Amino acid sequence: MIAMPLATHPVRERRISPHDAADMIMRFREGALPELAIFDVRDAMSFKTVHVPGAQHLTDSSFPTLTRGLTKHTPILVYCYHGNASQVWAQTFVDFRFVEAWSVDGGFEELSAHLGSRQAGRVDPPRATNASAALVSFISAHGFNPDDLDAPRDHGLTPLMRASLLGNVPLADELIRLGVDLDKRNMDGNTAVWMACVSGKAELLRRLAGAGIDLDNRNDMGATSLMFCASAGKTDLVALLLELGADPMITNFDDLRAGDLAASRECLSLLRHTVK
C-alpha cells in the first residue's frame, strides 16, 4: 500500500458531476485549461479494453511514478466504475497536498456518455466573416483565431470573454451576433458573465443575459458571478443580477451563498433573505 503522509492538507476532497468533469476535459483539450491529470482506477483489463482518452491507469504501485511530474496545483480527475473507489483515491491526493482532486460521480460510463454528448454536439466554429474593422483589429491584437471565434487564448479567454473583461459592449454585441458560444468557460471555469462583472459594465451584463447566457454558472471553486459581486461589494451589479434572474440560493463548495459572502451592508441588505 501507499505510505501515507504524516499530516493532511486542509483542502477537502471534492466530488464532481460527470457533466462538469466532461467540461473540464473538453476545456483542457481545447486549450482553455492549461493542465489536467485524468486517472482511471478500474482494474487493468477494463482500462486496457476502453478508457477516457488521455487517462492513466492508477494503482497503489503506479501512484509514486504517475504523480512525480505533477504540481500540487494540477487539477486531478479520478474515475472508477461507479464513483465510489474514486472518492478514496481523490482523498489520497488531498492527503498528499494536491489542491484540486475530484472524484467523478457515476464513474466511467457516465463520464464517457457526457463526453460523447459534448463531442457529438459540436458544430462548426463561428468565424470572423464580414467582421467589422474594429473586431478584426481586436482579434489580431489579442492573437485570436479568426476562423474559430470560440478558441481560447491567454488564461483560457475567448474573444467574448476578453471583450467582456475590457467592458467593450460593441465588440461583445458583434461577437454574439456572429454566434459565439456564450457559455464557454476559461481556465478557472468562469464565463463572460464573470468578466463583465469584473469590468463593472451593467449594460454588458444586460446584453449577455438577453442573449441567453447562463447567469448561474459555477466556476471550478463553486462560485457564481453573484457571489463574486457580493464579496467584492459591487452593490449595483448584485441588484442587476438579481433583477436578471440570478439565483441567490446557490451554494459554493463551502456551502455558502452570495448573502453569506456579502462585503457591504448594501449587498447584505439585497441578499439578507438568503442568509443562513
Mean local confidence (pLDDT), 34-48: 97
DSSP string, 97-125: T-S-EEEETTHHHHHHHHHHHHHHT--PP
Position 15 pLDDT exceeds 60 = yes
CATH of range 146-274; options 1.10.3720.10, 1.25.40.20, 1.10.390.10, 3.20.20.60? 1.25.40.20
Where in the chain is CATH 3.40.250.10?
Answer: 14-120
Pick from 7-16, 87-96, 185-194, 234-243: least confident = 7-16
As assigned by CATH, the class of the 14-120 domain is: alpha beta
pLDDT tens-digit profile of 127-143?
999 999 999 999 999 99
Residues in the chain: 276
Q: How confident is the model at residue 57, as a pLDDT?
A: 98
* Residues annotated as catalytic (active site), given as ranges: 80
If you ran DSSP here, which 8-state letter would residue 5 be given? P
pLDDT tens digits, one per residue of 66-78? 999 899 999 999 9
Could you report the per-residue pLDDT of 142-193, keeping only the tens digit for each? 999 999 999 999 999 999 999 999 999 999 999 999 999 999 999 999 999 9
